[in-house]
Amino acid sequence: MYENREKTNDTPFDSRNSSCLLITEIAPSFLSEYLVIGNPLDGEISLLNWSISDREGQLKFAIDIIIGRNEEIIVTWNKSSVENIYPQKRVIEINSTYFKKSGRFQLADTGDEVFLLDQEGHAVDAITYGNSAYAGIEWNGDPVAKIGKREAAIRYQPWRDTNTSADWRVEPPGRSHLFEIESSGVIEPFSAPEEARTRINRELKYATRSVKVSLYELNDNLIVEELCNCSKRGLDVRVLLEGQPVGGLSRDTRESVMKLHSNGVQVHFMSSHDGFKRYRYLHSKYAILDDRRIIIMSENWVSEGLEFNRGWGVTVEDRTLASYFSEMFKEDFRLSMADICTAQEYLSISGKPEIHRMAEDACQMNCYESLDDISVFRGIVRPIVSPDFSYERLIDLINGAKSRILIEQFYCDPCWINHSEIMSSILNAANRGVTVRFLLDSSWFNTQSGKDNVAVAQKLNEIAKLSSTDFETRLVSQYQPFRILHNKGIIVDDTVVVSSMNWVDTSFWDNREVGLEIESQEVAEYFALLFWKDWSIDPYPPVINVPWKSINVAAGTLIVFDASDSHDNSRILKYLWDLGGDGVVEWNGTKWLTTLDPGRKVVVLTLVDAYNNTASILLHVNVKAVDQERCSSAAIGAMITAGCGTTLYFIYKKIKSAR
């Protein structure tokens, strides 16, 4: 760890590097500098007499160390500083007898070059980084970007080897490098705010062995109570939370964590330690139950979000998928990592929890609960994980679109329009005839001037107009029944993605985010119906209020049909009164005053609002014939006041006998 100096290179280069060992990771300014050697070959290789050089010093393996297929070995000055990050990898200290040292081998913070040499002294792999000006046949083009204090340059997996900076990414060490899998499962879709809390608590209630939860935020009292009940029933309950959310930990979250801890729930926080944190934010929203069922959502488990946000969620029963997420959770939750600490440490909680176990009969659940209101489907499921491969997976999905792309997003970075491959893929899909609808949140914090959803909608609609494509973008209407469109979902043909990923670079490259790609026509249609409802500017019909639905009157009576107390989210444009329901409208107005011939009559009232939503009601009128002789010398006036306060006047003319 020093500043770069002038160097010379007399190392021959061997073009066989495509079939030899590789440098797979390098960290010049971590807690202790280190590099990693990997074996991409099918067989084992002995490292005896292999060397690592930075052109100022050299480390030669002096002992016959065998590196197996796909194995990695770490070389470092301080073993303990990297063992906690990579407990599954062999670690060898530079100052050990494993090496024969010559010169001064030490990686420069600002920039350097490192070579891996075989037994003959030929360079079979190389990396240059930072301000290195090295030019040679071992490396092509610009160096890898400068590697920060708590970062490493990591070779992409499956291991690329083009001897260019394109093989590498710079990020904090210890991140997962998961691969895509595919399985099939039983899928139960749901939405917030309609039923998210109910679904979560139902899953927790029926868990029998374990519950593992990874969330950005948690403070919903009912869910916290159910998590505590799981612990009281003897389940292994573990919760991983983001320790540094935007704005800091809320008071409600702190109180929720205190309650969970006091009931024996293991709560860990992911937070920065001496500048080291694997992910900028733990932004995932998922749970694993009994290692067989998964909940994946767009929403945090907070009261306000579950009650007032629009979000999507699914539960999936599939052991393969559950195992995949369990392994990820295990690594993210691992206490030996520097960026993980217990709730007791993080919140300075004193004392040990006292767990009061539930009586055995209190643990018995009604497993025969009616599922009539739950939609259950089968489908293909594929996890989507950030920062591992979410960006590439979404691009591949969009590139395969044939008929429709429906998107709901809490926020989209305006820079994405010109600088995102995801957005380019969407525009290309529209150009080849795919119908695209893009719905964005309209909350004040997402519509501020400049970098906001308004700018995204305006620009995309301008592009669509110029290209004459079936692509429309809009902000969600104020007339929708939810407060915030917090969803991060996309439907491509018969495939739907439920995820935690906002459309910003951080969500795909720096955060821990989780989503699920579901290939199922039924599930896609379930969420498509929700989408089109949300897409509507005013999805709800007018509400009809009338003073009466049935009335008896005498012939010749002036009848007042009154719909003036009706209302709508937007405004009512038409009040259509149809006598007899024959489709012929006798009157258009809030009130209709008329007389009717004797007999039983039906009047159909139809209201039409500004967005063509309609509502109708039947009004029944029984008109009785008048006995003229009984009324001949009487003048009758009657006033009837309806329950809603509307007054109907029945006026009869005085009939007098001729004198």
Give me 107's structure tokens.
Answer: 């990686």
Q: pLDDT by residue (tens digit) across 385-429? A: 999 999 999 999 999 999 999 999 999 999 999 999 999 999 999
| pLDDT at position 350 | 65
| pLDDT at position 20 | 86
Picking from 28, 281, 276, 4, the residue whose alpha carbon sits closest to that of residue 152 is 28
Q: Sign of dihedral through CA atoms 169, 174, 177, 178?
A: negative
| pLDDT at position 87 | 87
Average pLDDT, whole number, for the chain? 90
**If you average pLDDT over residues 533-550, what whole number do you get?**
94
Give one word for 348, left, alpha or beta, with left for phi > 0 and alpha for psi -120 to 50: left
Q: How confident is the model at residue 274 (pLDDT cuts 50, 70, 90)?
A: confident
Q: Sign of dihedral through CA atoms 103, 107, 111, 116?
A: positive
Give me 100's structure tokens.
Answer: 């024969």
pTM (predicted TM-score): 0.84
Q: pLDDT by residue (tens digit) across 76-121? A: 999 988 988 898 899 999 999 999 999 999 999 999 999 999 999 9
Which stretch of DSSP H or E encloses residue 197?
helix 196-206
Give one word for 166, left, alpha or beta, with left for phi > 0 and alpha for psi -120 to 50: alpha
| pLDDT at position 575 | 98
**If you average pLDDT over residues 5-22, what whole number do you get?**
52
Tell me the percentage of the chain whose pLDDT exceeds 70: 88
Length in residues, the chain: 659
> What domains can be seen in the chain, in order of their start residue?
15-171 (2.60.40.1260), 183-350 (3.30.870.10), 389-495+513-535 (3.30.870.10), 550-651 (2.60.40.10)
Give me 159's structure tokens.
Answer: 């291991």
Torsion of Cα atoms, 256 then 260 then 262 then 266, to 10° = -140
Q: Between helices 221-232 and 196-206, what is the axis angle to 10°? A: 10
**If you average pLDDT over residues 229-238, what whole number do you get?**
98
Q: pLDDT by residue (tens digit) across 326-348? A: 999 999 999 999 999 999 999 98
In angstroms, rounded to a whole number, what is the distance separating the alpha carbons of residues 556 and 554?
A: 6
Query: Which residues touch 140 (CB under 8 Å, ≥6 apart)?
Result: 162, 163, 164
In degrees and rounded to multiples of 5, residue 307 shows phi and psi of -90, -30
| pLDDT at position 628 | 58
| pLDDT at position 569 | 86
Picking from 12, 38, 41, 13, the residue whose alpha carbon sits closest to that of residue 23 is 38
| pLDDT at position 26 | 97
Cα dist. 449→169, 442, 453 in Å?
A: 34, 12, 9
CA 450 to chain CA centroid, Å, is: 25
Cα dist. 47→20, 52, 74, 188, 588 in Å?
A: 12, 11, 13, 52, 91
| pLDDT at position 201 | 97
Q: pLDDT by residue (tens digit) across 283-342? A: 999 999 999 999 999 999 999 999 999 999 999 999 999 999 999 999 999 999 999 999
Bridge partners of 605?
A: 577, 617
